[in-house]
Amino acid sequence: MNLLLVAPILVPLLTAALCLLAWKSVRVQRWLGVAGSAALLASALALFAEVDGRGMAVSHAGEWAAPFGITLAADLLGALMVVLGGIVGLMVAVYSLGSIDEGRERFGFHPLVQILLMGVCGAFLTGDLFNLYVWFEVLLMASFVLTALGGERAQMEGAIKYVTLNLVSSAIFLAALGLLYGLTHSLNMADVSLRLARLNYPALENLLAVLFFIAFGIKAAVFPLFFWLPASYHTMPVAVSALFAGLLTKVGVYALIRVFTLVFRDDVEFIKELMLVVACLTMAVGVLGAVAQMEMRRILSFHIVSQIGYMIIGLALMTPLALAGTVFYLAHHIIVKTNLFLVSGAVARATGSFELKKSGGLYAAQPGLALLFLIPALSLAGIPPLSGFWGKYILVKAGLESGQVVLVVVALAVSVFTMISMMKIWSEAFWKPHPLGLTPAPVGLLNGPIAAMAAMTLAIGFGVEPVMQLAERSAQQLLEPQTYIRAVLEARR
């Protein structure tokens, strides 16, 4: 159990270290990257099987018992997120073989991706708030370098915005941690949860809840804190932006879920109302931002923002069905969004541009790629029977059950606008002939990960029952934090 829990952190660390040892040989690093990501996915699946079969896995690093040592804990949500991280890591590693230029590879692209994955997995597995901060820093450091690596002009501009706003978020997170520690004298999530329940300082607790909401909200890119995202994601290499699009904002969402189901349980009524408003505005503003864009990755970036809104819905409603919807949506979204970014790279490779006005003719030249675009695109818009439909269906149903009519109307309207955006990409990049009359070039290897992720989208869509059951069980765990708390505090000393 100990090994299973640390493996998703150790495997990428080891891979990164081996990449550094092979610093001179880009080719060795390439294959280490793929092999390491595959091993990460395997270890994540093993952890998931363990958690699924035998319940929560808990390990205290160095046998320093909670609440003093660093706790690693995996419930169903954590294990599921690690698996999704492994999938995205592997797909991006394979995709980067055919798309990253050698200059970036020589300056550490492969080890950086692994360190980013280590940070992501660590954030999903930690049971300690300060340790969560550390993992955030690990993944941010790696992402800062990946954002700026290559040093193109536009890239630097995006990187500065990205770095600045994320540093602000980290500072707020750290300040909140300081206050929380002053209030409860503990940083272990399970322990803090118990201590907060015993304290009676509603004003301070509300302040802390808002600080955490802002800190994670910036990372999750919710309204009105999302501006760094569409400003930077379209400037990076495709493999990097796909990795970020799939995982980084979702780490923020995960942290929100964890903190607001485990740590702040009782006195958070007002933050729930705040979340409802934020969810609506995030969905609406994100999708409206996308309407005005004509660059493929900018459109997709704004859609990340709007989709984050859907995930916040479940957290705001906090009913079993709504939370299950959020978990389902996370899984669906990570796969679909990563895939859409991968497709955008293939489109740019084939037609020579991310600008929709300058591309075209893909449907005639490569109907296969066109189909592979349609699957995640229609899924994102929520067309049955693809995965996005089920995610939206569950959240809308949960919204109706809670009597949140406005929320439901916004969610459905946003879905229509998402469809419009996807059709815009379809008609410009795929349907219309190429403006310069070029025949799109073949994209070769890039099709592999795209097809694999499209297959996963189809699998979630058609095999919705088991995934939904998993999401429901995971929501059940989240709504009964006593199990988590007991598992952490009473684990073998």
Partner 1 sequence: MNSLILRTTTGFLLSLLVLFSVYLMLRGHNAPGGGFIGGLTATAALTLYAFAFDVATVRKMLRLDPLSVAGLGLVLALVSGLPGMLGGDAFLTSRWALLALPDGTEIHLGTPLLFDFGVYLVVIGVGCAVLLTMAEERGE
Residues that bind partner 1 in the complex, under the rule CB under 8 A: 2-3, 6, 10, 13-14, 16-24, 59-63, 108
SS3 193: helix
CA distances from 257 to 12, 180, 271, 315, 446 (A): 25, 18, 13, 7, 34
Query: Residue 107: which region, alpha, beta or left (left: phi > 0; alpha: psi -120 to 50)?
Result: alpha
Output phi, psi for 221, to 5 deg: 60, 55
* Closest to partner 1 by CB, 141 or 458: 141
Q: Name the minimum Å distance from CB 37 to partner 1.
A: 18
Q: Name the minimum Å distance from CB 235 to partner 1.
A: 25
Per the CB < 8 A criterion, the answer to whether 386 and 458 are in contact is yes
Q: Name the minimum Å distance from CB 124 to partner 1.
A: 16
Closest CA relative to residue 252, chosen from 269, 285, 228: 228
Residue 306: Cβ-neighbour burial (10 angstroms; 0-12, 13-18, 19+): buried
* Closest to partner 1 by CB, 65 or 423: 65
* Closest to partner 1 by CB, 62 or 403: 62
* Closest to partner 1 by CB, 125 or 256: 125
Alpha carbon distance 483, 462 (integer Å): 32
Closest CA relative to residue 33, chosen from 109, 93, 102, 83: 93
- CA–chain centroid gap for 483, Å, is 25
Alpha carbon distance 449, 175 (integer Å): 41
* Closest to partner 1 by CB, 63 or 401: 63
Query: Residue 150: which region, alpha, beta or left (left: phi > 0; alpha: psi -120 to 50)?
Result: left
Q: Name the minimum Å distance from CB 432 to partner 1.
A: 48
Q: Name the minimum Å distance from CB 70 to partner 1.
A: 9
Output phi, psi for 295, to 5 deg: -110, 130
* Closest to partner 1 by CB, 3 or 420: 3
Query: Residue 439: which region, alpha, beta or left (left: phi > 0; alpha: psi -120 to 50)?
Result: beta
Per the CB < 8 A criterion, the answer to whether 478 and 56 are in contact is no
Q: Name the minimum Å distance from CB 27 to partner 1.
A: 16
Q: Name the minimum Å distance from CB 51 to partner 1.
A: 17
* Closest to partner 1 by CB, 42 or 141: 141
* Closest to partner 1 by CB, 18 or 140: 18
Per the CB < 8 A criterion, the answer to whether 159 and 148 are in contact is yes
Q: Name the minimum Å distance from CB 59 to partner 1.
A: 5
Q: Which amino acid is present at 65?
A: A
Q: Name the minimum Å distance from CB 254 to partner 1.
A: 22
Q: Name the minimum Å distance from CB 14 to partner 1.
A: 6
Q: Could you tell me the two tokens for 183?
A: 């209030």
Alpha carbon distance 246, 89 (integer Å): 9
